[in-house]
Amino acid sequence: MKKTLCTFCGVVDQVTVDERGAVRGSGSLGACVKGTEYFRARLAAEPRTVERFTTPMLRTPYGWESVSWDYAIDMVADTILVDRKEYGRDALAFYGVGQMSLEALWIAKRFFQGHLGTNNICSNAEQCLANNAGGHELVFGNEGPFSCYADYLEAETILFYGHNPAANHPTVFDRYIRKNRDALKVVIDPRRTDTVQVLERDDSRSLHLPVRSGADVLLNCLIARTLLDEGGLDEGYVRSHVDAAALEGFLDFLRKGPFRFAEAIPRITPEGFSTAEMAARVRRVCDAWKTTRVVTTSSVGINQTVGSTGVASILNLHLLTGNLGAPGRGHVRLAGQSNASGELAFGYSGRLLPFRMQVANPEHRRRLAELWGLPACCISPRPGLPVASFATSPRLRTLFVFGTNPARNFPNLARWRQKMMDLCIVYVDSYYNPEILEYADIVLPCRTKHEMDGVFLNGERRLQALRKVGEPPFEAWTDVRIVCNVALRIGERLRERPTEEPGPGADLSAEQVDALVAAGNLDLSPSLLERDFALPLDGSGEPLAEPIWDQIQRASRGFYNEFADGQGQPITLARIQEAEGVQWGGARRYLRGEEPADARGPFPGILAEDRHRATLHIPAPERLVPFSERRPDRLTLITGRGAMGEGTRGSNVAMFNSSTATGRSSWPEENRLYVAELDAARLSLGSGDRVRVRNELGAIECPIEVTADLPAGHAYLSFHPDHRGTHPNFLTDSDRIDPVTWQPLLKDTQVEIVPIGAGEAGAP
């Protein structure tokens, strides 16, 4: 029996696995269906056949050729040096994934941002979870959440904003949320999701608010205005915890805005749904905010529609009612990727440095350079690109992709595929993927998560130890080993030159560093590369996790998210490996009634010493406009996990995001587009009819399913792959981004549906 983690969503929990892949929970949550299936498929006596990359590969004029690791690392190192010299530091970009360990995320940041000097460093979190962090920063000044999963058990009301935990986070849903049988549960989502179906069966009091897509901020302003008018504000808490000017400005905004019931209810209510019934349900929610302990949760749904402003509008309500810092009160973060919270903490965005420091801030660059032992000029002052701009920028020449498939998983997919033809793609992954082989140039096989050791950070700030449960069936390296070997090979190349060891030596301007780069990468120091990446190794040549974790823990000291427990004691790797891990900051890192005696306020900024009061965020005018008001001639496309309708939860929960870990056999032949009854009637369509779904970005063809679980003005399509390629990313827009985080607002997507007559079917 071996202890490890189930890492198939941002919940992440302890499990014990035997040699045949049987799993049992050893933590409070245990394995989800996906984790159970994964371990059984990979470790059983006769494991399911899943193709994996077995050797480094290089694209040649004659096709793909297997090469040695030594040769592959040579090619990667030479590509970096040539591109930097000819096109500059900004020619390189890195895209990581929330399945990487904290150690791998740290080492990649240190190499690409610290030594190579590129800020084009992004990850999956910028496309899914970044706006949760952005909303928290707008209101509290840093991204670290306050609450924990146990708050679900203590809450009297639980609200889900665009979040479907029954399918996406089944362990938390079944073992925390449903276990609290006394709480009123409210789902705010245009469609009747798996979560709505289960909660309605559990408790007839459960509420579904099928508000129009994009109307979340307007709804929350309506609730806030009602609380203001009816004495529902906790005035003592607000006056002592919220900046006075921000408070007065926000209250004035509420008084002047169209946020009364008569004004707002018709705008948030979709066609075909009763405004009187919507008003009655919203009234119950307002009363719950006034009189009960409230926990809220938001996830990708709100992050990809109204973004940071949407999350901030939820946190505004927590501040106004004092629903913070005590059991059963607060906002809980849940993510799709297992280490998405780690990506946020380490600043995986072109505008950020580790611990959410800002690229544009010279003091932050200096502080990071000191942490990494580098001259300050090594940290470029030029912000990197939003990931949404990777597909259009002429700056990029080489893109490193770790653990995700940009040939399927990126928005504006047709444009991405075209761009990848012009880039050198270094692709690092475990599983064989024929799509990416059409675009990649160098493939490096990496170990799966459960063939390595590492630390993962989940949505309640819990640091947990992933332990290796099996060896790879061939020579595959961890992400850490790959990055370290590329860094060391670059150092070897630099030492081959006849000149003295280069390096910036002094604090130079960005232009002076660029001149050193153009002169032959003279800004890079072989000795510093060796110092930082020649790490202690285990018997198989893999870097040890503990020295890297010690670097991370020391570097975090003094920041808002210092990796210390609730008593301020450093969190060591040994402590993480015990029991169920350790939460940085304690179970609730902000405790009402135990705030520091500091007149500046109770909340830290990026640095723990920068105390201040919270800010009530005033949304921009465009965030108050439901999507249907912008394009009444089109339907708003909603994406999510799996099929819709009664009886689909089991298959939806079991569905992997891309099904790569267990093979393509679970893919449906063709995804269906779900359409509301009113819209189907207007188009004279019935279930099974084929349609073309299109907008300015592209088109797909698929059959429709008419459903009563979706309001008029909306359509739904699963983001899971199918064999026919009906993927919504041919339609999603990457250019409309959140101004705070740069996260694409993918669910702000409008489409036309065109019936396909007999003989018209074919590729769009």
Mean pLDDT of 244-268: 97
Q: Helix 510-518 vs helix 69-87: angle between axes, to the nearest 10 degrees?
A: 120
Q: Is the distance from CB of 301 to CB of 163 less than 8 angstroms?
A: yes
Tell me the backbone φ, ψ of residue 706, rounded to 5 degrees: -80, 130
Four-residue CA torsion sign, 315, 318, 322, 324: negative
Q: Is the distance from CB of 183 to CB of 157 less than 8 angstroms?
A: yes
- Closest alpha carbon to 149 in 412, 425, 6, 333: 333
Same domain, 307 and 351: no
User: Does residue 547 form part of some domain?
Assistant: yes
User: Does residue 445 form part of some domain?
Assistant: yes
Q: Is the distance from CB of 315 to CB of 221 less than 8 angstroms?
A: no
Four-residue CA torsion sign, 485, 491, 532, 380: negative
Residues 55-93: pLDDT tens digits?
A: 999 999 999 999 999 999 999 999 999 999 999 999 999
What's the CATH number where 740 sits?
A: 2.40.40.20
Between CA 701 and CA 762 the distance in angstroms is 8
Least confident of 81-95, 362-376, 427-441: 427-441
Write the CA distances from 563 to 571, 572, 584, 608, integer angstroms.
Answer: 6, 9, 5, 12
Write the CA distances from 372 to 92, 111, 531, integer angstroms.
Answer: 20, 10, 11
3-state DSSP of 507-564: CCCHHHHHHHHHCCCCCCCHHHHHHHHCCCECCCCCECHHHHHHHHHHHHCCECCCCE
Residue 663 has pLDDT above 60, yes or no: no
Residue 255 has pLDDT above 80, yes or no: yes
Same domain, 324 and 432: no
DSSP string, 315-376: HHHHHHHT--SBTTBEEEE--SSTTHHHHHHTT-STTB-GGG-BTT-HHHHHHHHHHHT--G
**Two tokens at 377?**
């000029």
Q: Which amino acid is at 557?
A: R
Between CA 442 and CA 427 the distance in angstroms is 6
Residues 306-323: pLDDT tens digits?
A: 999 999 999 999 999 999
Query: CA triplet 135, 140, 141: central angle to 5 degrees?
Result: 90
Q: Looking at per-residue confidence, does 238 or 669 come out higher?
A: 238
Between CA 402 and CA 98 the distance in angstroms is 10
Q: Looking at per-residue confidence, does 434 or 96 come out higher?
A: 96
Same domain, 405 and 458: yes
Q: How many domains does the chain have?
A: 4
**Where do the DSSP E strands lie in 177-308?**
184-188, 207-209, 294-298
Same domain, 552 and 410: yes
Residue 299 has pLDDT above 50, yes or no: yes
Between CA 348 and CA 351 the distance in angstroms is 8
Residues 494-514: pLDDT tens digits?
A: 998 876 665 676 789 999 999
**Mean pLDDT of the residues in the chain:** 92
Residues 102-115: pLDDT tens digits?
A: 999 999 999 999 99
Same domain, 350 and 388: yes
Least confident of 14-18, 350-354, 369-373, 689-693: 14-18
Residues 712-741: pLDDT tens digits?
A: 999 999 988 888 888 899 999 888 999 999
Least confident of 24-33, 249-258, 380-389: 24-33
Between CA 599 and CA 608 the distance in angstroms is 15
pLDDT value of residue 763: 45
Under the banding of pLDDT at 50, 70 and 90, the label for residue 18 is confident
509 CB-side CA count, 13 A: 3
Residue 456 has pLDDT above 50, yes or no: yes
Same domain, 166 and 297: yes
510: exposed, middle or buried (Cβ count in 10 Å: 0-12, 13-18, 19+):
middle
User: Does residue 594 form part of some domain?
Assistant: no
Q: Which amino acid is at 376?
A: A
Q: Looking at per-residue confidence, does 1 or 133 come out higher?
A: 133
User: Does residue 321 form part of some domain?
Assistant: yes
Residues 622-655: pLDDT tens digits?
A: 999 999 999 899 999 999 888 888 888 777 776 6
Name 690's bridge partners: 703
What's the CATH number where 145 sits?
A: 3.40.228.10
Between CA 24 and CA 36 the distance in angstroms is 8
Same domain, 61 and 39: no
Query: CA triplet 235, 240, 244: central angle to 5 degrees?
Result: 85
pLDDT value of residue 760: 58
Residues 379-409: pLDDT tens digits?
A: 999 999 999 899 999 999 999 999 988 888 8
**Two tokens at 485?**
């070997």
User: Does residue 153 form part of some domain?
Assistant: yes
Between CA 76 and CA 442 the distance in angstroms is 8
pLDDT value of residue 660: 62
Between CA 184 and CA 194 the distance in angstroms is 17
pLDDT value of residue 43: 66
Residue 29 has pLDDT above 90, yes or no: no
User: Does residue 603 form part of some domain?
Assistant: no
Name 158's bridge partners: 185, 295
Mean pLDDT of 412-423: 94
User: Domain span at residue 190?
Assistant: 130-334+616-620
DSSP state of 403: S
499: exposed, middle or buried (Cβ count in 10 Å: 0-12, 13-18, 19+):
exposed
**Two tokens at 330?**
């607060």
Same domain, 234 and 148: yes
Write down which residue in 598, 620, 642 finishes a domain: 620
What's the CATH number where 434 sits?
A: 3.40.50.740
* Prediction pTM value: 0.95
Residue 703 has pLDDT above 70, yes or no: yes
User: Does residue 298 form part of some domain?
Assistant: yes
Same domain, 642 and 695: yes
Between CA 209 and CA 195 the distance in angstroms is 12
User: Does residue 601 form part of some domain?
Assistant: no
Residue 708 has pLDDT above 90, yes or no: yes
Same domain, 273 and 312: yes
Least confident of 39-48, 140-149, 218-227: 39-48
Sheet holding 57-60, edge to edge: 63-66, 57-60, 442-445, 424-429, 398-402, 92-96, 121-123
Residue 764 has pLDDT above 50, yes or no: no
Tell me the backbone φ, ψ of residue 664, rounded to 5 degrees: -80, -5
pLDDT value of residue 528: 96
Same domain, 8 and 65: no
Q: Is the distance from CB of 347 to CB of 353 less than 8 angstroms?
A: yes
- Closest alpha carbon to 108 in 439, 499, 498, 426: 426
Residues 176-221: pLDDT tens digits?
A: 999 999 999 999 999 999 999 999 999 999 999 999 999 999 999 9
Same domain, 93 and 25: no
